[in-house]
Amino acid sequence: MERDCNPGLAGAGGALPCSRFHVRLVDERTASGVPQGDQPPEYAVSSFGGEDGVNRLHHFEYRGAGGGGGGFQGRDSLRPDSIFHSYDTNSYLKPFGHNTVDRVPRIDFYRNTSSFSGVKINRPSLADLHEDLKRDILSVPGTVDGVANGDGALSDEAERKPPENKDEKLVRFGWIKGVLVRCMLNIWGVMLFIRLSWIVGQAGIGLGVIVICLSTVVTVLTGISMSAICTNGVVRGGGAYYLISRSLGPEFGGSIGLIFSFANAVAVAMYVVGFAETVVDILKENNALMIDPISDIRIVGCITVVALLGITVAGMEWETKAQVILLIILLIGIANYFIGTVIPSSTEKKGKGFFNYHANIFAENFGPSFRDGEGFFSVFAIFFPAATGILAGANISGDLKDPQVAIPKGTMLAIFITTITYVTVAICLGATVVRDATGSVNDTITSTNCNGSAACMLGYDFSACNTHPCKFGLMNNFQVMSMVSGFGPLITAGIFSATLSSALASLVSAPKIFQALCKDNIYKGLYFFGKGYGKNSEPIRSYILTFFIAVAFILIAELNTIAPVISNFFLASYALINFSCFHASYSKTPEVNWGSSAQAMSYVTALQDALSLTGVNDHIKNFRPQCIVLTGSPMSRPALLDLTLSFTKNFSLCICSQVFMGPRKRTVSEINMNMDKYQQWLAKNRKKAFYAAVAGDNLRDGVKCLLQASGLGRMKPNTLVIGYKRDWRTTNSQDVENYVGILHDAFDFEYGLIILRISQGLDVSRILQIQEELQRKEQEKLALEAAMRDEQEDGKRGIRSLKFLNKAVKYSTNSALAMNAQQDYKISTSHAADFNQRLLDASTQFQKNQGKGTIDVWWLFDDGGLTILIPYLLTTRKKWCGCKLRIFIGGKLDSIDEEKRAMAALLGKFRIQCADIKVIGDINMKPSKESWKIFEDLIEPYQLHERSKDPATAEILQKEYPWKITDAELERFKDKTYRQVRLNELLQENSRAANMIVVSLPIARKEAVSSYLYMAWLEILSRNLPPVIMIRGNQKNVLTFYS
């Protein structure tokens, strides 16, 4: 048996503290878990140390007689109640079968704290994965999974407690009830029934249809822009205000929020006045006016808005039920109108100007006949409020189940249906009703003379309307649709439905928008109106404010006066929504003009912009991979630079970095000499990157300086890009320690890390040296030839000037030296042609179009999203757009379909498209004998083998070779080692034909994993593969589906 050591219980009673060099005493008998020959040893999930080499959980196992497998196992392990909380061991300790602190990707890591759709949980922090834990996490009550969560947050299961009060369930609406119904009711408003006939009379059928189509163009463009913005992240309450403020910022959002909420409040008055006009017309027909038409409109309007306020205060659920009922009535009313147009007209209706469908009427009404100072734009201003209903659904975005889907789907469908309805009704009105009619059945033609009007041709003489005002016809009667319909009261019901539903929608929208504006506290004095009441946070105070604004405009009692005011407000809102979308897309590729004629101004502008950025709060949606690229000189590792520029060019910061090592005086001189040279090379070769160089005693110290001091304000790097060290097996141990130390430093400074490996290598500096030598010799050869020609010509003329003698001395003009130079040139050319042509080809492979292929992303652990973001950014670039993403994730064999659906849902939330998602359920199988033998041969020269020696000798060897891999270290991290070997087998099996492989970078714990063991992991993981990018984020979100 062996004496156990526990790295997680250092110093605890009864347990031996251990380090990487701890020697374990082993007896001669065979124990499970020890390799036998070439066979990889068996290992259990609860084996020593787990994958991260830390005993995070002790299982108290009860075994029956004979040590059978009964009793408590795995999740059923006994746990002291005083220490353990209820949690999901499979979720937190076994992402896909192994004990590890690392977490697999899941949607809950990306939620906001106040998310309604799920509970946010925390992934392990970078320190949890990177630091060598020396504490006993079980000694702190209530923090069993504190390491997994990274900040001591509650476990997933603990966080997902059901709400204590089931009555507090929020009311959420789908795209039909919440958006489609609401938009259609708002668009089919007062204009459809009591102003469309007047618009056709004034503008004619032709211009009337143009007015409708022009309004539709505005609303379609706005709908598309709104859809683009709201599908770019989770939309909260506040509708158009929320979209604009989150896209353009609070300055635009605040101003347009006030305008838009005020416009909706005025719209309430417009719709209520339309309703009151119809009621007053009915009272007038029955001689039941209370005072006079204007006063009656005010009285009816005020009573109506009080009733509507009561419905809205009762809650959104009641308001939505009322909307559905009103829609049914409205549809019946519209159908009733179309039926009425085909029912033969009665004598009474003919006297009022309705003659069914006639080509003469259509032709007469096709052109415009503007009167009373009206024109095209005034008619458009009166009609346009009918189109403003497109935002009725977006305005209650906070009450929708899925605003990202509901708003685009419901809004665009509502625009299509209502536009068809308006155009059809306008054409039908223009083809069946004349512009002017007296209303008298006796005004028939009494002579053969006819004034040429359509009514005259149909036997009616309405010429009296030319001298006296008439009450009927398109121009004079706002209740034409009621007169045309098959059953007039149904149209009246439709008018009531359309006006009341639109008023109701606006009465809900205005307070919701105003509440969102007030909650953002942009205007301090308005915060009072942002308070919400009840389970849906109803803005009662904003309702009351909207009520008083509506009453003030109802007292105007003139629909044609109120409508143009609303048009101006809504057109301004729509213009800003469209500008928001344009600005959001255009600002993705900002350009600064650094023209020489305005360098001073450009410098000042850039400086001011950089300073203004310091006042902008960081947000996940603004994350960009801003990279320090360890290229050395920019031309030394072109593949590394080209790949980085593939996802940073015109998008984010890229700094080519070089460390000069040696005496300070010489290195500073080299830095100053090369700074302009390399920056100009980048500009000449159209590499959108900066060049930075530092002096250091060694590579690691120089990179530390770069990691801490690079960047300016918010334009500060957050990702380190480095090439894979191919020569780690042949270089000295200090170089390997420095290289791995750089990776540790990157994690310490919370950088994301990207390592690129190409089988041919990255460094082409040797080839560049040869090319420079060839160019120098070519120049010498040309100079020698020119000097010889000049000397020969001057010799013929008998001239021996000092100038040419100096040239002869300088360039060694004797023929023997010239022959030697030419011979050297030929030899060098031959040598360069044979020098690693594959390396030259590989160094430029990312400059070429990648064609059709795949980028295989092995997203094994959730690092905040950098592992999936980088390949996605690649696919958005021209050279990589033909490549499709294939996602590989780890999973369990019994839940492959479930995990595949979960990953598809997560990618859908991020709007990342992929060709395929594959769940690998056999990651935890033992690697093959051949693969394991390759790994053993790989690390053999770097192993200490202290167990095969006596303790004294082992201690001496440890002091002499502190960088070697100990047997204790291999045992402690055997699970993680097995995984790297197994992963390479799976990569060989699934991704050999990929254009690029992106895989989660394993993290080595500081002071626990030796540099050579870590390099062996990276070597075995990425060997014999296409270009491999190993990525690990800093465990903070770089992707979100929230706005």
The DSSP string of 205-251 is HHHHHHHHHHHHHHHHHHHHHHHHHHTTSB--TTHHHHHHHHHH-HH
Query: Over the chain, what is the mean pLDDT?
Result: 77
Does residue 811 register a pLDDT over 60? no
What strands lie across the sheet with 654-661, from one edge to the other?
A: 690-696, 654-661, 627-630, 719-723, 752-757, 1028-1032, 996-1000, 853-858, 883-890, 916-920
Does residue 241 register a pLDDT over 80? no
* Least confident residue range of 113-117, 302-306, 427-431, 678-682: 113-117
966-987 average pLDDT score: 91
Predicted local distance difference test score (pLDDT) of residue 299: 93
Tens of pLDDT along 183-228?
887 788 778 888 888 999 999 999 999 999 999 999 899 888 877 7
Tens of pLDDT along 460-497?
888 888 888 888 888 888 888 888 888 888 888 888 87
- Residue pair 501/186 in contact (Cβ under 8 Å)? The answer is yes
Predicted local distance difference test score (pLDDT) of residue 1000: 93
648's tokens:
């940073």
Does residue 39 register a pLDDT over 60? no
532-558 average pLDDT score: 86
Predicted local distance difference test score (pLDDT) of residue 117: 61
Predicted local distance difference test score (pLDDT) of residue 81: 36
Predicted local distance difference test score (pLDDT) of residue 239: 62
Tens of pLDDT along 294-348?
899 999 999 999 988 887 777 656 666 777 787 888 888 889 889 988 888 888 8
Range among 348-357, 435-444, 933-942 with highest mean pLDDT value: 933-942
- 233 exposed, middle or buried (CB, 10 Å; 0-12, 13-18, 19+)? buried
Predicted local distance difference test score (pLDDT) of residue 459: 81
Predicted local distance difference test score (pLDDT) of residue 874: 92
Residue 612, number of CB atoms within 10 A of its CB: 11
Does residue 886 register a pLDDT over 90? yes
- 331 exposed, middle or buried (CB, 10 Å; 0-12, 13-18, 19+)? middle
Does residue 150 register a pLDDT over 50? no
pLDDT band at 11 (very low <50, low <70, confident <90, very high): very low
Closest CA to 155 of 77, 85, 81, 74: 85
Q: Compute the Cα dihedral for 722, 727, 732, 733 and give only its sign.
A: positive
- 324 exposed, middle or buried (CB, 10 Å; 0-12, 13-18, 19+)? middle
Does residue 863 register a pLDDT over 50? yes
Place of tokens 């959108």: 688
903-919 average pLDDT score: 90
* Distance between CA atoms of residues 109 and 658, nearest Å: 36
Does residue 693 register a pLDDT over 80? yes
The torsion angles phi and psi of 656, rounded to 5 degrees, stand at -80, 125
Cα–Cα separations (whole angstroms), residue 771 to 687, 768, 830: 21, 5, 12
* Least confident residue range of 168-177, 324-333, 581-590: 581-590
pLDDT band at 110 (very low <50, low <70, confident <90, very high): confident
Does residue 802 register a pLDDT over 60? no
Percent with pLDDT over 90 in the chain: 24
Tens of pLDDT along 923-948?
888 899 999 999 999 999 998 888 88
* Distance between CA atoms of residues 411 and 214, nearest Å: 17
Three-state DSSP state, 672: helix
Place of tokens 């060099």: 21
Does residue 151 register a pLDDT over 60? no
* Distance between CA atoms of residues 112 and 215, nearest Å: 38
pLDDT band at 502 (very low <50, low <70, confident <90, very high): confident
pLDDT band at 600 (very low <50, low <70, confident <90, very high): low
* Distance between CA atoms of residues 910 and 903, nearest Å: 11
Place of tokens 């053999």: 940
Predicted local distance difference test score (pLDDT) of residue 224: 86
* Distance between CA atoms of residues 422 and 714, nearest Å: 52
Three-state DSSP state, 189: coil
